[in-house]
Amino acid sequence: MNSPAMPEKVTAVTPAKSGAFGLRHYLICLKGIVVRECLRFLHQRERFISSLVRPLVWLFIFAAGFRQVLGVSIIPPYKTYVLYEVYITPGLCGMILLFSGMQSSLSMVYDREMGNMRILLVSPFPRWYLLLSKMLAGVSVSITQVYAFLIVAWFWGVKAPPLGYLFVLPALFLSGMMLCALGMLLSSMIKQLENFAGIMNFVIFPGYFASPALYPLWRIQEASPLLYKLCLANPFTYAVELIRFAFYGQVDWVSLGVVAGCTLLFLGGAIIAYDPSRGLITRKQGAGGNG
């Protein structure tokens, strides 16, 4: 410390005012959490680049190779045969949301280990609202990444109907919320950052591959009925289909229902897990200090 001496002037610190928070205060809180998440994302350029490179590798390399091997017949929402690149684009959007949602949970584990999480949790706003805001912040970052990917894909010749880019936004939002909520729930169960590798192996990869992100479900059913059942039980399957249909201005109601239901389920679980009176955090952790 350079200047240990007490400054002469001490700012007036008046007692806190009482009274409930109004809508304006809630919005300020939400904005603060979203801005922080965006700033963190901007400061971590590697995170942005890797989030973009991962789906682009699949699009440029994987899809180019497999388009000759994998034929995609005319299945809804497509009305004609489509290039394999076109088919996997919704799945790659889902991949970005999946990785970003898990990244968000990773950052929560990191924040908890580093102590930053405490600053969020001791806010006087309701815990559910703080977690919801955190999720919205995570989804905002995820959607930004998806649109960055879609721009590059457009230049690569993978184009959706122009209005599809608008229609897909609600689907991306809802799917992003579901995956962020899942990440948040998982983060409450992970005590240490090192355990996150397990999430990669047991959640991200199985979740991604056991879905119609890369191959249509009918092909999976032909290849392995068991895998097909697993795909049907996988919430990510419905996120991908919701996005796929939204690109063509259509709603896959089953997918919408499953994604909305899973979002509520995971969010509810995360709120309970982070609730001081019921949560897993209290039971699993010590005070974390020396005192």
Binding footprint of other proteins on the chain (CB under 8 A): 1-7, 9-16, 18, 21, 24-26, 28-29, 31-33, 35-36, 39-40, 43-44, 114-116, 118-126, 130, 275-278, 282-283, 285-291
Phi-psi region of 115 (alpha: psi -120 to 50; beta: other; left: phi over 0): left
- Shortest distance in whole angstroms from residue 291 CB to other proteins: 3
Residue type, 274: Y
* CB of 111 or CB of 252, closer to other proteins: 111
What would the two tokens of residue 124 be? 């006087």
* CB of 162 or CB of 289, closer to other proteins: 289
Cβ–Cβ under 8 Å, residues 102 and 181: no
Number of residues that this document lists for the chain: 291
Residue type, 41: F
Cβ–Cβ under 8 Å, residues 84 and 165: no
- Shortest distance in whole angstroms from residue 19 CB to other proteins: 9
* CB of 29 or CB of 56, closer to other proteins: 29
Q: What residues contact 283, with CB distance under 8 A and at least 6 apart?
A: none
* CB of 18 or CB of 80, closer to other proteins: 18
What would the two tokens of residue 23 be? 């809508």
- Shortest distance in whole angstroms from residue 280 CB to other proteins: 12
Cβ–Cβ under 8 Å, residues 93 and 168: yes
Cβ–Cβ under 8 Å, residues 92 and 59: yes
* CB of 2 or CB of 192, closer to other proteins: 2
* CB of 117 or CB of 158, closer to other proteins: 117
* CB of 157 or CB of 291, closer to other proteins: 291
Nearest-CA neighbor of 236 among 250, 217, 222, 223? 217
Q: What residues contact 200, with CB distance under 8 A and at least 6 apart?
A: 102
- Shortest distance in whole angstroms from residue 133 CB to other proteins: 9
- Shortest distance in whole angstroms from residue 126 CB to other proteins: 7
- Shortest distance in whole angstroms from residue 69 CB to other proteins: 43
- Shortest distance in whole angstroms from residue 137 CB to other proteins: 11
Alpha helices in 156-252 (DSSP H): 164-189, 196-199, 205-209, 217-223, 225-232, 235-247
